Structure 1
Amino acid sequence: MDFMVILQFIVLLGGIYLGVKLGGMGVGYAGGLGVVVLAILGMKVDMKDIPIDVILIIASVISAITALQVAGGLDYLVQVASKILRKNPKQINFLAPIVTYLLTILAGTGHTAFSMIPVIVEVAKTQNIKPSAPLALSVVSSQVAITASPISAAFVAMSGLCEKLGVSYPKLLFICISTTFVAMLITAFIVNKFYDLDLSKDPVYKERLSKGLVAEIKAEEYKEPKPYAK
Structure 2
Amino acid sequence: MVFIELAIVLIAIWLGARLGGIGIGFAGGLGVLILTLFCGIKPGAIPFDVIEIIMAVIAAIAAMQVAGGMDYLVSLAERLLRRHPRYVTLLAPLVTYMMTLLAGTGHTAFSTLPVIAEVAKEQGVRPSRPLSIAVVSSQIAITASPISAAVVFFATLLEPRGVSYLALLAIAIPATMAGIFLAALVTNFLGKELKDDAIYQARLAKGDVILRGANVFVAKPGAKRSVLWFVTGIVAVVLYATFTSESVGLIAHPLLPRNEAIVVFMLTIATLICLTCKVDTGEILSASTFKSGMSACICVMGVAWLGDTFVKAHLTEIQMLAGDTLQTYPWMLALVLFFAATLLYSQAATTKALMPAALLLGVSPLTAIASFAAVSALFVLPTYPTLLAAVEMDDTGSTRIGKYVFNHSFIIPGILAITLSVLFGFLFGGLVL
Asked if 1 retains the 8 angstrom alpha-carbon contact of 2:109 and 2:135, the reply is yes
Q: Deviations over 1:108-141 (max 9, x none)?
A: 2111111111111111011111101100010000
- The DSSP-based 3-state class of the residue aligned with 2:106 is coil
Match of 1:181 in 2: 177
Structure 2: gaps (5+ residues): 1-11, 17-21, 23-41, 225-433
CA distance in 2, matches of 1:98, 1:104: 10
Counterparts in 2 of 1:117-196, with a 5 A limit?
A: 117-192=113-188, 194-196=189-191
Match of 1:36 in 2: none
Number of residues paired by the alignment?
Answer: 186
- The DSSP-based 3-state class of the residue aligned with 2:100 is helix
Q: Percent identity?
A: 50
Displacement after TM superposition at 1:43 (Å): 6.1
Confirm whether residue 219 of structure 1 aligns to residue 219 of structure 2: no
Cα 1:203–1:72 change in 2 (3 A) is: same
TM-score (norm: length of structure 2): 0.39
TM-score (norm: length of structure 1): 0.71
CA distance in 1, matches of 2:136, 2:158: 24
Displacement after TM superposition at 1:60 (Å): 4.6
- The DSSP-based 3-state class of the residue aligned with 1:111 is helix
- The DSSP-based 3-state class of the residue aligned with 1:76 is helix
CA RMSD of superposed structures (Å): 2.8
Q: Deviations over 1:204-230 (max 9, x none)?
A: 111222333323x01253552221111
Confirm whether residue 86 of structure 1 aligns to residue 45 of structure 2: no
CA distance in 2, matches of 1:156, 1:183: 22
Q: Deviations over 1:83-125 (max 9, x none)?
A: 1111110000100000110111112211111111111111101
Asked if 2 retains the 8 angstrom alpha-carbon contact of 1:58 and 1:156, the reply is no
CA distance in 2, matches of 1:84, 1:152: 25
Moved more, 203-212 or 121-130: 203-212
Letter in 1 for 2:87: Q
Confirm whether residue 199 of structure 1 aligns to residue 194 of structure 2: yes
Match of 2:361 in 1: none
Asked if 1 retains the 8 angstrom alpha-carbon contact of 2:75 and 2:217, the reply is no
CA distance in 2, matches of 1:190, 1:43: 45
Match of 1:72 in 2: 68
Letter in 1 for 2:177: F
Asked if 2 retains the 8 angstrom alpha-carbon contact of 1:133 and 1:197, the reply is no
Asked if 1 retains the 8 angstrom alpha-carbon contact of 2:57 and 2:103, the reply is no
Displacement after TM superposition at 1:147 (Å): 1.0
CA distance in 2, matches of 1:187, 1:153: 25
Letter in 2 for 1:204: I
Moved more, 107-116 or 71-80: 71-80
Cα 1:172–1:228 change in 2 (3 A) is: same
CA distance in 2, matches of 1:44, 1:175: 31
Structure 1: gaps (5+ residues): 1-8, 14-19, 21-41
